[in-house]
């Protein structure tokens, strides 16, 4: 895989600290602009929605989160719905009855309204497009417009997939049409986790999914050797990535039939630098394999033997990534765990026109199709 001559600061570690359809506001209205009928109750985060992704309830009832692709789904009867948010960092898509009607760009603390709908039952979905490992977003619930009411939240889907990975999994820069995003809004304005390959595949399968992705992180080594002493595993168990020691409390209902792991691009895509813990690539490969086995042990203990674990790899400089990942799967299978598989994805049609040479939206659709075909070969009981 070719890499950009120079990647953005966010590509290094992601660690820096729409259009309008009829009757739908494309930006969040400030609280002072909302009518009295539209003001949310003091504690809006209550019934009326379900959450997809890792979140944490705050003491005041708001829902907190940092991972990309977090989604809130609800149902209501009426001509409109308000979306209560407190977030000056992230971007969101608002979907009504399965169609994206607006994009909220760093909305701040506000209630954003979708109005002038037919007075009938509707679904509403709010999805976090961007990454924010350094900042917590907060959701305060859905609010019905005057004369309407919230309905029972949609039921959880029977199928569940967990995606674990880096910027490819997060959808970094995927909606850009140029590799240099400095003049077209930057990485955040050009990223949409809900259009990354994992989310696309989950929708086709009607599956709930988690997008536990962190750009720039590897299994043992981060991009270009940055932020030594940490790696993806440092953060995996957290709900809030920016809170040291935070632990996500897994709901009983979350037991994915498939976990797709995409970690290794950042480990192997840049040469080792002086002062790193590994004197040669052979040492890095050994450390990566050992850590990967430990990570698979953690997933197996968490989700049980029925969950299928997919170790994925793609084209980067050299063959160390793919060869090592394939060898890890071979070792697991030889040890008697037949529900670990290897998925290698590449295609001559990939253009990598996203920000900083990342997969474009077209690429994500191609990769999703490759994943669809791979998953169809697995003995999944779903």
* Coil, helix or strand at residue 294: helix
Handedness of CA 50, 56, 57, 58 (dihedral sign): negative
Q: How many Å apart are CA 4 and CA 17, to the nearest integer?
A: 23
Q: What angle do CA 302, 305, 307 make, to 5 degrees?
A: 75
Cα distances (Å, whole numbers) of residue 95 to 86, 206, 258: 19, 16, 26
Q: How many Å apart are CA 222 and CA 134, to the nearest integer?
A: 16
Q: Which of 228, 68, 186 is nearest to 133 (CA)?
A: 68
Element (H, E) at 245: none
Give, rounded to a whole angstrom, the gap between the first and last alpha carbons of the chain: 35
Token output for 197: 């390959």
The phi and psi torsions of 3 (rounded to 5 degrees) equal -120, 160
Q: Does residue 93 contact residue 103 with C-beta atoms inside 8 Å?
A: yes
The secondary structure of 62-90 as a DSSP string is: -EEE-STT-EEEEEEEES-EEEEEEESS-
Q: Which of 102, 167, 191, 368 is catalytic?
A: 167
Token pair 């029972």 is at which residue? 152
Q: What is the CA radius of gyration of the chain?
A: 21
Q: How many Å apart are CA 52 and CA 50, to the nearest integer?
A: 7
Q: How many Å apart are CA 227 and CA 241, to the nearest integer?
A: 15
- Residue 167 annotated to the active site: yes
Token output for 51: 């959450």
Q: Does residue 246 contact residue 239 with C-beta atoms inside 8 Å?
A: yes
Residues annotated catalytic, as ranges = 167
């Amino acid at each position: 895989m070719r890499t950009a001559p120079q990647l953005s600061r966010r590509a290094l570690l992601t660690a820096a600290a729409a259009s309008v359809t009829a009757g739908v506001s494309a930006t969040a209205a400030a609280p002072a602009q909302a009518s009295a009928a539209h003001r949310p109750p003091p504690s809006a985060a209550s019934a009326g929605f379900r959450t997809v992704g890792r979140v944490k309830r705050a003491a005041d009832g708001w829902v907190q989160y940092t991972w990309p692709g977090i989604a809130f789904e609800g149902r209501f009867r009426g001509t409109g719905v308000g979306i209560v948010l407190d977030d000056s960092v992230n971007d969101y898509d608002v979907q009504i009855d399965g169609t994206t009607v607006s994009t909220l760009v760093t909305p701040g603390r506000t209630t954003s309204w979708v109005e002038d709908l037919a007075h009938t039952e509707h679904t509403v979905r709010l999805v976090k497009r961007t990454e924010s490992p350094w900042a917590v977003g907060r959701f305060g619930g859905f609010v019905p417009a005057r004369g309407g009411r919230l309905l029972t939240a949609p039921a959880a889907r029977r199928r569940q997939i967990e995606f674990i990975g880096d910027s490819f999994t997060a959808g970094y820069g995927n909606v850009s049409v140029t590799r240099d995003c400095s003049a077209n809004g930057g990485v955040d304005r050009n990223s949409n986790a809900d259009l990354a390959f994992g989310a696309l595949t989950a929708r086709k399968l009607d599956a709930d999914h988690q997008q536990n992705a962190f750009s720039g992180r590897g299994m043992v080594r981060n991009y270009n050797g940055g932020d030594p002493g940490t790696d993806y595993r440092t953060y995996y168990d957290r709900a809030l990535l920016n809170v040291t020691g935070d632990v996500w409390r897994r709901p009983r209902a979350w037991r994915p039939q498939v976990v797709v792991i995409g970690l290794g691009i950042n480990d192997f895509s840049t040469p080792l630098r002086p002062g790193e813990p590994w004197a040669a690539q052979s040492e890095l490969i050994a450390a990566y394999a050992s850590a990967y086995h430990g990570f698979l042990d953690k997933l197996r203990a968490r989700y049980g033997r029925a969950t299928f674990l997919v170790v994925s790899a793609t084209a980067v400089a050299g063959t160390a990534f793919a060869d090592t990942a394939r060898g890890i799967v071979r070792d697991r299978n030889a040890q008697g765990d037949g529900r670990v598989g290897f998925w290698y994805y590449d295609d001559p049609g990939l253009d990598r026109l996203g920000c900083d040479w990342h997969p474009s939206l077209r690429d994500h659709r191609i990769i999703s199709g490759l994943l669809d075909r791979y998953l169809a070969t697995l003995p999944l009981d779903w």
